Amino acid sequence: MLVNKQLQFVFFMVACVCVLLFTTATPVFAQGKNWQNEITLYGWYAGIDGTVQAPTGAESDFSVEASDILEDLEFMLMAGYEGRYERWSVLVDFVYLDAGDDADIPTRVGNANVDLNVSSYLVHGGVGYDLLHGDNGVLGVVGGVRYLSLDVDYDASVQGMQLLSSSRSDSLTDGFVGLRGQIRFNDNWFLPYYADIGTGGSDLSYQLFAAIGYRFSWGDIRLGYRHIGIEMDEDMIMEDLQLSGPVFGVGIRF
C-alpha cells in the first residue's frame, strides 16, 4: 500500500513537470558537440529498514533510524558520474554501506540478544535521452540496470552463550526505466528530479529523488531527499530493503 501511494505521488509530480515543461519550455536541444562530464560526491543521511530471514526461517526486522545512522553505520561510500553528449547521457551511481543493529528478544530461557550486520553495495548504470531541453528545464527518459549485493551476519546469544551464528550472501539484478531532468528557475538555481521503476531479480524496485540545487562555474551543490525501495523474493536473505533520507551532494564538471 505504501509503495502504491509513493508511485501514485511520483506519477502525479511527473505529470505536473511535463505540463510545466511543455507549456513553458522552448524545445531547443543542446548544441554542444563535446562530451560534458560531472562527478558527484554526496552524503546520504538515510534511514535503513528491512526484513531479514533468520537461519531458523523466522523473520527479523532490521532498522537503523536516520538519527542513529552515525552511531550504527560502520562505513558508507557514495558517488555518481554523468557523461553527456548532445541529447544523450550516460549515468553511473554507486552506494556502499555497512551497518549494524541489535535487539533483545524474549525466549523461554531468557532474553536472546540478536546482532545483525548488513553490508551492501548498490550500483545503477543507465543511458538517458532528453525529450525536451529548453530555457526552463529538461525532461528526459532513462533506462538501465540496477545491481544489489547483500551480505548479512546473524548472531544470537542468551546470557552470553552463543546459540546461533550465520553468514549469508545474496545478489540480484534488475532492469529499470524512468524519467529524469530538472526545472531551472534562473542561471543558478534549479530543481533536479529523478524517478525509476524496475524488476527482474526482485519483485519490484524503485527510486525517487528531488532536490534544490545551485550552479557555479565549476559545478553545483544539491540538497534534497532520496528514497530507494527493493521488494525481494521470499527465498532471499532479505525480503525487503528501504533506504530513505536527506542527501547532500557536490558535483564537479570537467
- Report which DSSP code applies to 67: G
The pLDDT confidence band at residue 58, using thresholds 50, 70 and 90, is: low
Q: What is the pTM of this model?
A: 0.79
CA atoms of 133 and 21, how far apart (whole Å):
9
Cβ neighbours of residue 62 closer than 8 Å, sequence gap 6 or more: 48, 49, 50, 51, 52, 101, 116, 118, 238
Task: Give me the domains of the chain, ranges plus CATH numbers.
Answer: 2-253 (2.40.128.90)
Closest CA to 212 of 243, 189, 239, 235: 189
Does position 218 have pLDDT exceeding 90, yes or no?
Answer: yes
What is the Cα–Cα distance from 232 to 152, expressed in whole angstroms? 15
- The CA distance from 20 to 94, in Å, is 31
DSSP string, 93-120: EEEEEEEEEEEEEEETTEEEEEEEEEEE
* b/e 148-178 (16+ beta carbons within 10 angstroms → b): bebbbebbbeeeeeeeeeeeeebebebebeb
Which grid cell sits at 237?
Answer: 536473505
Report the C-alpha gap between 116 and 62 in whole angstroms: 7
With vertex at residue 188, the alpha carbon angle to CA 178 and CA 81, rounded to the nearest 5 degrees, is 40
Provide the percentage of residues in the chain whose pLDDT is more than 90. Answer: 48
Whether the CB-CB separation of 121 and 92 falls below 8 Å is answered with no
CB 213 within 8 A of CB 183: no
Q: What per-residue confidence (pLDDT) applies to 167?
A: 82
Q: Higher-confidence residue: 191 or 12?
A: 191
Q: What is the pLDDT of residue 209?
A: 97
For residues 114 and 73, the answer to whether their CB atoms sit within 8 Å is no
**Number of CB atoms found within 10 A of residue 202's CB:** 21
pLDDT of 26:
40
CA distances from 62 to 47, 160, 185, 236 (A): 11, 22, 41, 15
**Confidence tier at 222 by pLDDT (50, 70, 90):** very high
Please give the C-alpha separations between residue 187 and each of 82, 91, 183, in angstroms, as whole numbers. 20, 23, 11
CA dihedral 193, 41, 243, 61 (to 10 degrees): 180
CA 68 from centroid of its chain's CA atoms = 19
The region of weakest confidence among 33-37, 84-88, 139-143 is: 33-37
Sign of the CA dihedral with 89 first, then 146, 123, and 10 last: positive
